[in-house]
Structure 1
Amino acid sequence: MSALFRKIHHICIVVHDLERAEAYYASLGFGPFYDYPKKGAYAELDVPNPAASAAMRYRCADLDNMQLQLCAPGELDSPQRRFLDEQGEGVYHLGFEVPDIDAGVAAGRAVGLGIIARGKRVDGGGFCYFDTRSEAGTVLEIRTA
């Protein structure tokens, strides 16, 4: 289990206005920002609302030791939209790299972690958002590089 959350990849902040948030972070020296690089279609995709997931907009900035992601969830119902409506802007999740998404999902399930959303691409890469909000104070995600 401990290997799941050892290598941080990114912090994701949910925002109302992506352009305003990006401009502010850029004024502090973050950047350059770029669109989140979608790496192709998913062979498996289990998300609460596929249309909402597809409509989300992300802007990313690579830092020396990790990535900052800004997420504008759009108006459709999604966990990110609900977070924004209920709690306002802030850290939605911490993303960690794992070498094998299937093994990571299995390890999370083995210790009783619920899953909010997950996806796996044809190349074997993917992601999994664990429902750790009540205990960790935020969502913990695993992903492959």
Structure 2
Amino acid sequence: MKQFFKTLHHVCIVVHDLDKTVDYYEQLGVGPWFDYPKAGPYVEFDVPNRAASDAMRYKCVDLDNVQIQICQPSELDSPQRRFLDQHGEGVYHLGFEVADRDAAEAAARALGIGVTARGARADGSGFAYFDTRAQAGVVLEVRKSA
């Protein structure tokens, strides 16, 4: 079986106040932070709530070995908002880099893992979030960079 949860790319932490959290990390010497880079348009974009997805705020920092993403969901209904309301701030998902997003998504589906959100671009880049919280303790994501 091909291992697609092998190369950790990022850890995503959901917070109430993005600016306050980034300020704290900067006081610890963690930075520089940048806005999550929105790449080109998706040819496929299946998320539970498009407006909520569009309204989320993200900041990222590249460390030597992994990226940290901080996410502040809007008040609109989304999986991230529900996580924050039910569990408080914390790690929402782990993102893994893959060579082929489509193949990784298909392999996960073949294992019976449900997809909760997905996006694909014409160049083959994109993401897929999996319904793994109950079994893995966290949402798992695969992503392919452009």
Q: TM-score, normalised by structure 1?
A: 0.98
Matched letter for residue 75 of structure 2: E
* Secondary structure in 2 matching 1:9: strand
1:105 counterpart residue number: 105
* Secondary structure in 1 matching 2:10: strand
1:56 counterpart residue number: 56
1:20 counterpart residue number: 20
Counting matched residue pairs gives 145
1:117 counterpart residue number: 117
Please give the per-residue CA displacement for 1:57-103, whole angstroms capped at 9, x wherever unaligned.
Answer: 10000000110000001111000000000000000000000001110
Please give the per-residue CA displacement for 1:16-72, whole angstroms capped at 9, x wherever unaligned.
Answer: 000000011111121100000011110000000001001111000000011000000
- Following superposition, the deviation at residue 122 of structure 1 comes to 1.7
2:134 counterpart residue number: 134
* Secondary structure in 2 matching 1:4: coil
2:36 counterpart residue number: 36
* Secondary structure in 2 matching 1:5: coil
Distance in 2, matches of 1:122 and 1:19, equals 33
* Secondary structure in 2 matching 1:128: strand
| 5+ residue gaps, structure 1 | none
Distance in 2, matches of 1:44 and 1:71, equals 22
Please give the per-residue CA displacement for 1:113-144, whole angstroms capped at 9, x wherever unaligned.
Answer: 01110000121111000010001000000000
- Following superposition, the deviation at residue 2 of structure 1 comes to 4.9
* Secondary structure in 2 matching 1:109: helix
Identity of aligned residues (%): 65
Aligned structure 1 segments of 4 or more residues deviating by more than 6 angstroms: none
When the two chains are superposed, the root-mean-square deviation of aligned CA atoms in Å is 0.8
Distance in 1, matches of 2:23 and 2:2, equals 36
| 5+ residue gaps, structure 2 | none
1:6 counterpart residue number: 6
2:79 counterpart residue number: 79
Distance in 1, matches of 2:40 and 2:30, equals 27
